[in-house]
Amino acid sequence: MNKNDKTAAPETGEPVSAENRAWLDAFAQFLGVQAKRTRDAYVRDTEKLAVATHPAPLASLTRAQIARRLAQWHAQGLSGRSLTRMLSSWRAFYRFLLAQANSPIQDDPCAHLKAPRSARRLPSVLTISETQQLFNHQETEDNVMNVRNAALFELTYSSGLRVSELAGLDIAHVELVRQEARVLGKGGKERIVPIGRYAIAALERWLPVRATILREHAAEKEQALFVNQRGRRLSARSVQDFLRRLSVEKGLVKNVHPHMLRHSFASHFLESSGDLRAVQELLGHASIASTQVYTHLDYQALAKVYDAAHPRARKGKG
């Protein structure tokens, strides 16, 4: 293949044997029908493997050698996501080799390999005092949008809603007497969530204001629970912007967003109740594994208390 061909493997300046270069060029040519970014990424990732294992031919690498290379890169700080992407590129390369008429390999050395997983990042949450600071509403709000926003975010925190669920709520989905809301979550799954007393009070202040806005704009047929000043349903982006502004007004230094309120709800509820299954149901998680991250948050809080209180944990104490 011509070295100037746009589908040729990118040069790294690192040693690549003639045999490996020939296979990389052929692989790039084979991927020519792919989107350019995908093609370039596949070839670049496979070339990295060739450089890392030089002078061994790519066609001679064993499953153990590739697994060892993954482990070494993981130990050097490469993320699990990056390693997974690279492994996907290598699988494509070895499938390409297997499909050749005179294939130099008998099987895929990447088969059944899994990339090391990175440590899961814990979600950022508000402390109880920060939550109280955010929700320090006056009982009577002069600005009608402040009334709406108070109801908006009290409900978010009270019921642990996703921003898409919040924006998608219709007025018919909320039962103030029964203190519950019907929410349509991911995958079209419906769940019933309770509404706390502060959120109920905020909604009771908002609903008459909402009705007035809809009358003024001849929008009585609008079904959305939360509307803008023109009587139209709020977008998820608008909800995010309103919360960001509110957090700044309240003097919070954290970058507060709706999902942080959902995380805070889950963490605070679990801390008080210890009921992981209940948190799973309230959040609408399909798997308990998604909910278990909040147990790590509770452990961190417990560890801080331990470090501050236990005589064998306090630094500088005999």
Rounded CA gap, 75 and 148, in Å? Answer: 50
For the chain, the residue count is 318
186 φ/ψ angles, rounded to the nearest 5 degrees: -65, 145
The catalytic residue among 63, 217, 233, 259 is: 259
Helices (H), 76-194: 80-98, 128-134, 144-159, 163-167
Who contacts 146 (Cβ-Cβ below 8 Å, separation ≥6)?
Answer: 137
Who contacts 277 (Cβ-Cβ below 8 Å, separation ≥6)?
Answer: 288
The catalytic residue among 120, 178, 186, 197 is: 186
The catalytic residue among 54, 91, 244, 285 is: 285
Q: State both tokens at 251.
A: 């003097």
Three-state secondary-structure class, residue 56: coil
Q: State both tokens at 213.
A: 């806005």
Query: Active site includes 315?
Result: no
The catalytic residue among 42, 94, 157, 294 is: 294
The catalytic residue among 162, 210, 263, 268 is: 162
How far is CA 210 from its chain centroid?
32
The catalytic residue among 39, 262, 263, 268 is: 262
| Cross-strand bridge partners of residue 40 | none
Query: Active site includes 250?
Result: no
Query: Active site includes 262?
Result: yes
Query: Active site includes 137?
Result: no
Rounded CA gap, 103 and 212, in Å? Answer: 74
Query: Active site includes 162?
Result: yes
Q: How many helices (H) and strands (E) does the chain have?
A: 13, 3
Query: Active site includes 198?
Result: no
- Distances in whole angstroms, Cα of residue 291 to Cα of each of 164, 192, 225: 19, 18, 28
Residue 200 has a CB neighbour count (10 Å cut-off) of 17
Q: Which of the residues are catalytic?
A: 162, 186, 259, 262, 285, 294
